[in-house]
Structure 1
């Protein structure tokens, strides 16, 4: 069953994945966390936040314990639906359940935050990563940089400078994002200095 649910997800047939899970319930066959995660991913990729949330609750009532992959799928659906509070809630829930968030969880949350220009929260997420000893990668930093485009320009510059102390090399996305933050705040000279 897990293979069929996964195939439905890969084929963008998320309704089929949900139907199969419903049928399993009718047949008194219990889905496991692998089947749950396959269905959650399929529905998340279709940006169906409500269905992902409902599915997670339904399988928990059946006694299936969600894992890190489950909550990451919930965060992904929230990010795709531009619901950063839901993504943050999923992270907090997995932490309350004593699951260790990984860089993928934090990257997904930062992507949700970035899409909503929540620069203060992006900085909080980076601090939370440090607190939980999860090393941010370049994608995390770039998402935080993008969120800071709407905030004070110097934050974007500070994040760009901080990449070196994180043993990461800024890429074209990093520089373009910092330049955009400077230009939006009329810091033309600072923005142009990154082109040198």
Structure 2
């Protein structure tokens, strides 16, 4: 039985087609080979990659007590991949109701889901961490906030985000620069775009 479980999980991590992922998840569940949070996280991650977030939600909800922070983070990400931003927010509330730690990875995933669904204001709200001592935005957080500003036309916010990144000594990624240049283009601020490229070579 152990060899069978290992083989099925190995196939699941490599599977890309939706119907294959669904079949493997069904087989693992039917054979009672989903034993702990680690197993469930593998299933939820595979379902999320195929945007099968309803099945991921159902899997985590039964039984609801068998969850941890990593599993819930995978679930938020799965909902985000499917642009189910409302469900991502429900998962955040679920995490808090369970008394689990709400980590930056999970907040980033939920905020990214909001940006993908054009709920840019909610994304900015989620990553407004000024009143929290335990979490600080990282480069991924800043990229998400910049994308939210871009989609929401909030050009003025870019300056405060730039200052925040500089104060935190965060190195920008290529995504950071691309998004900033898009914002500069929208504001017809080509001088700032050139300045950013000169200051932050990638």
Structure-2 separation of matches of 1:87 and 1:94? 15
Aligned counterparts, 1:115-130, within 5 A: 115-130=151-166
Task: For residues 20-43 of structure 1, give each alpha carbon's deviation from its aligned partner in whole angstroms, at most 9, with x where no partner exists.
Answer: 111121xx32x1111111111110
Task: For residues 168-191 of structure 1, give each alpha carbon's deviation from its aligned partner in whole angstroms, at most 9, with x where no partner exists.
Answer: 15xxxxxxxxxxxxxxxxxxxxxx
Structure-1 separation of matches of 2:106 and 2:131? 13
1:109 aligns with 2:148: no
1:179 is matched with which residue? none
Structure-1 separation of matches of 2:62 and 2:129? 28
1:158 is matched with which residue? 192
Q: How many matched pairs?
A: 163
1:45 is matched with which residue? 81
TM-score (norm. length: structure 1): 0.76
Structure-1 separation of matches of 2:84 and 2:71? 18
Task: For residues 140-173 of structure 1, give each alpha carbon's deviation from its aligned partner in whole angstroms, at most 9, with x where no partner exists.
Answer: 122122123332x2x332222232122x15xxxx
TM-score (norm. length: structure 2): 0.74
Consecutive unaligned residues in structure 1, runs of 5 or more: 170-196
Give the ranges of 4+ consecutive aligned residues of structure 1 lying more than 6 Å apart after TM superposition: none
Structure-2 separation of matches of 1:11 and 1:83? 22
Consecutive unaligned residues in structure 2, runs of 5 or more: 1-39
1:24 aligns with 2:60: no
